[in-house]
Chains A and B, each alone.
Chain A
Amino acid sequence: MRQIHLGAMFPGTNSNTVWNDPRSGSYLDFDTYVQFAGNAEQAKFDFVFFAEGLRLREQNGRIYERDLATRPDNFTVLAALAAVTDRIGLTATINSTFNEPYEVARQFATLDHLCAGRAGWNVVTSWDRFVGENFRRGSFLRKEQRYERAELFLDAVMRIMASWRDGDLLVDKESGRFVADPDVGAFEHRDAQFDIAGHFGVPPGPQGRPVVFQAGTSDEGREFAAARADAIFGMYSPVEEKIAFYADVKGRLARYGRTNDSLLILPASTFAIGDTDAEAREVAMAVRHQQVDGRTAITFLESLWNRDLSAYDPDGPLPEVDPLLEGTRASELAGVRHYPDRIATAREWRELAEAKNYTIRELVIHIMGWQTFIGSPSTIADQMMSMVSAGACDGFIMVPHILPHALEQFTATVVPILQERGVFRSEYEGTTLRDHLGVSAAAASTR
């Protein structure tokens, strides 16, 4: 039976998070983070995962008020969580546009030491001028350069991290030699993006290189992952699309001399659990209504329409007017890049709402999608196992909508069933994140 890999994502600035449920912990209290990691580790998850946001969302120059907006720094959070956990992988997104390879190499080498080999990095490259306004680099990167930047950035980081070799560290008190020779740690790296050289200041961590995640489904993203990543942070999508994606990405591995299991595909997955399947469907519906209230629905439409729609009733029909193509009202919400033709999308949505007799709020609930898994614990365990055996993925990154409640519910009810069925570990076997995932540092090498 194929083993399932499980990660847990910390809820963040997105429409899935329900921060105003009475069962929600405080996002201003670090205990919520500690409890989250402890819960996932107790359930023997492979890793916890933290996303990153480098600019608060805005609408018309005003901060968008409905987001769970506060988001601490990932390296600092992970280093602290290393102190209160022993085995679970500690992974996060770190942007490759608004950092330099040298400092990211230092930070990941440090983190890998401080957590004894449990560090993982989701490489994300942004080209967004809006976010760039918080950084020295500003709007430097052109959109079409983003994968070049990501590839060269990752290659540079790995080159820097590999600059210490076996046998460099002597630490011989008798002879007084700390390192083998003056040049230990020396590196040089030149390419279209970087021209850097010097001595790397951190000896290699236990994993040598952190586990590398990639998120993104474009052709370039898939190629990037096939060449360089250890795991893919997958998006929400229907099972048939997951199967096609899985086959396509795994099919690219041979070209890089890699085996099928050297790259794991782990889609983000939401869930609603009930004692029975019928109860779970009710839970799912209630959660969707918590996630999308009237005001959230209007804001969602505004991000496509690019207009002020505050006069519309969320429990009424969709706007008759067409989206505005000029102006930037919506650009800072970044929700509509998936819809290149706004006029056509608006027309589709109007037709859908008319056919199904949806109000604005109902339509948005429909479009924003249902939970990946809905059912009793054993139904969800069945669904997960059948997705893995159908070749849709190698495991899942669970995204709880309420902390600590939702993750605790999952770990208390679904995980024991997966363990009983022999598809998920009951004890950690190894100590590093690479051990948990079964991906060796040599498999995805820098080219």
Chain B
Amino acid sequence: MTRTPLLFAVALDGAGWHPAAWREADARPDRLTTPGYWTALVVAAERGGVDFVTIEDSMTIQTTDPHRVRGRMDAVQVAARVAPATSHIGLVPTVTVTHTEPFHTSRAIATLDLISRGRAGWSPRTAALHETALFGRRGAASVEESLTEAADYVEVVRELWDSWEDDAVIQDGATGRFVDADRLHHIDFHGRWFDVKGPSVVARPPQGQPLVCVCAPDDDGVRLAARTADVVFATPADRTRARQVVDRVRAAQGDASRENEEIHVFADLTVFLDVEPGRARERRSRLDDLGGPCPTDAKTVAGTPAELADLMHEWRTVGLAGFRLRPAALPHDLDQICGPLVAELRRRGMFPNARPAETLRGRLGLPRPGSRYTRGGTT
């Protein structure tokens, strides 16, 4: 298996991950719901050589604080909207799994894979308690229940992708058969939260199995990731904890009988970047004064591209496949990632000149799995 030197993702959310980012001079908070805003960001990330972008989502508003950005668009559609404007970068929207239908999500991500020619992934997210009333269909679930449901949900999404074998569409003019029924499969999933008959209503996506990326802020997340994910986003505070989370993922992978599968662990970092020494820290404290600190789940780095490259170099040896960078302010920190940081990493041989693969799985060195329903099970 080919192992790429270091993988890079960028996490996009609103005006950036700092709560006051929208007040920066170069911020465009009035354009957050326009297609041009998102296209420009993803095109910039693609030019910078970023492997994939993630797009944050939630069902309700981010916060009731009137001083913070309010409003987010459906992330799958945002990804679909930018897909035709890009050609190599992976697109990984967040999808809420607690109140939605796995059948719809499966075909939406399969469709994103179709329109992007094999560049789709998704990141399942469990709903917050206060989002329950938006649906009003059932009481709030415990964290444990939500995670078990999420695991079932991802399983159904994956089974539906496999429910059309790769060669199910035969388009045989002579017999008038568009599909071969022997290569289409009911999945007959029965679980506590839903039963799903299948098969899907859309052909198997180009990647076979689009990328599943799971956030693992804690042990519950690690267990879910080990059962379901191709990529794990972890949030270690330092190198020691980065090693611990990689070890935990590997152990949980064994518990889930997936020790033979490749699961990439990424470390999340929130970044303020400026070439001029001291400038990024200055920006960070100015923004902190305006709107309080960044979310504290991931480590925040404010420094020069060289300082960030040092940290990445130091951390990566613990078994991380790559990093997901959360730009603190957009477009500034994305531009700093795509320009000076990438140049610095290239100089150190930590950033590839080109990825040979066309699909997102290919970029990440992951094989294209055959359908589980194909007799003999090809890979």
Q: Are A56 and B77 in contact (CB under 8 A)?
A: no
Q: Are A82 and B35 in contact (CB under 8 A)?
A: yes
Q: Are B176 and A56 in contact (CB under 8 A)?
A: no
Q: Are B71 and A71 in contact (CB under 8 A)?
A: no
Chain B residues with CB under 8 A of A334: none
Name the residue of chain B whose CB is nearest to the CB of A98.
B101
Q: Are B67 and A177 in contact (CB under 8 A)?
A: yes
Name the residue of chain B whose CB is nearest to the CB of A177.
B66
Contact of A73 among B64, B111, B169 (CB under 8 A): B111
Q: Which DSSP category, helix, strand, loop or mixed, fits chain A's interface?
A: loop
Q: Are A194 and B60 in contact (CB under 8 A)?
A: no
A contacts with B, residue count (CB < 8 A): 75
Chain B residues with CB under 8 A of A203: 33, 70-71
How far does the alpha carbon of A189 sit from the alpha carbon of B137 in the complex, in Å? 13
Contact of B70 among A64, A107, A178, A195 (CB under 8 A): A178
Q: Are B77 and A66 in contact (CB under 8 A)?
A: no
Q: Are A201 and B23 in contact (CB under 8 A)?
A: no
How far does the alpha carbon of A56 sit from the alpha carbon of B185 in the complex, in Å? 11
Q: Are B202 and A71 in contact (CB under 8 A)?
A: yes
How far does the alpha carbon of A58 sit from the alpha carbon of B368 in the complex, in Å? 30
Instruction: Mark out the residues of chain A between 24 and 80 whose CB falls within 8 Å of any chain B CB in the assembled complex.
Output: 28, 30, 34, 53-56, 62-73, 75-77, 79-80
B contacts with A, residue count (CB < 8 A): 80
Quote the shortest CB–CB distance from A155 to chain B (angstroms): 15
Q: Are B83 and A83 in contact (CB under 8 A)?
A: yes
Q: Are A65 and B81 in contact (CB under 8 A)?
A: no
Instruction: Mark out the residues of chain A between 179 and 204 whose CB falls within 8 Å of any chain B CB in the assembled complex.
Output: 179-185, 194-203
Quote the shortest CB–CB distance from B345 to chain A (angstroms): 31
Is A113 in the interface zone, CB < 8 Å from B?
A: yes
Instruction: Pick the interface stretch among A133-141, A212-220, A323-331, A436-444.
Output: A133-141
Q: Are B137 and A76 in contact (CB under 8 A)?
A: no
Name the residue of chain A whose CB is nearest to the CB of B103.
A134
With A54-B103, A71-B202 already in contact, the answer to whether A76 and B80 are too (CB < 8 A) is: yes
Quote the shortest CB–CB distance from A364 to chain B (angstroms): 14
Chain B residues with CB under 8 A of A176: 20, 23, 67, 290-291
Q: Are A19 and B171 in contact (CB under 8 A)?
A: yes
How far does the alpha carbon of A53 sit from the alpha carbon of B65 in the complex, in Å? 41
Is A103 in the interface zone, CB < 8 Å from B?
A: yes
Chain A residues with CB under 8 A of B78: 79, 110, 114
What would be 9 A-B contacts, judged by CB atoms less than 8 Å apart? A20-B178, A65-B179, A67-B178, A72-B111, A103-B59, A114-B78, A176-B291, A201-B59, A201-B62
The 4 closest A-B pairs by CB, nearest first: A79-B80, A133-B197, A79-B77, A20-B173
B interface residues, Cβ below 8 angstroms from A: 20, 22-23, 27, 29-30, 33-35, 39, 58-62, 64-74, 76-78, 80-85, 99-101, 103-104, 107-108, 110-112, 114-115, 117, 130-131, 133-137, 164, 169, 171-173, 175-181, 184, 193-199, 201-203, 290-291
A interface residues, Cβ below 8 angstroms from B: 19-20, 28, 30, 34, 53-56, 62-73, 75-77, 79-80, 82-84, 98-100, 102-103, 106-107, 109-111, 113-116, 133-136, 138, 169, 171, 173, 176-185, 194-203, 205, 293, 295-296
